[in-house]
Amino acid sequence: MHTLLVLLPAILSLSGCSLSPSLPFLGAAFPDWLYCIAGGSILTGLIFSLAGDKLLARFTLNIAGWLLIAAILSMIIWLLIFS
């Protein structure tokens, strides 16, 4: 048990040594988070174009609010597709 406690920090630090997941697209391998950010940005643009005027009039979302929506949608895409 004592040996496990001594080796635990080393074991936990080795998980960062793995390669980042990536998908090939047109001959180049792009990281998965890049696809998630692009998808989140596109979905945020669609939400803004469909309901932006109504949301701006009711809640007055500023740029930080729209960035937060893009981040949340990017994380949802990551959970749904790449997990």
| Residue range 23-63, pLDDT digits in tens | 777 777 777 778 888 999 999 888 888 876 666 656 666 77
State yes or no: pLDDT of 13 exceeds 80.
Answer: no
Side-chain-side CA neighbours of 58 within 13 Å: the count stands at: 5
State yes or no: pLDDT of 1 exceeds 70.
Answer: no
Among residues 26, 21, 24, the alpha carbon closest in space to that of 82 is found at 21
Give the per-residue pLDDT at 71: 92
Average pLDDT over residues 11-24: 65
Domain count, the chain: 1
Give the per-residue pLDDT at 20: 65
Q: Is residue 60 part of a domain?
A: yes
Q: Is residue 53 part of a domain?
A: yes
Instruction: Report pTM.
Output: 0.63
Side-chain-side CA neighbours of 41 within 13 Å: the count stands at: 6
- Tell me the chain's radius of gyration from C-alpha atoms: 19
> 64 is written with which tokens?
């930080």
**Domain of 71, in residue numbers:** 29-83
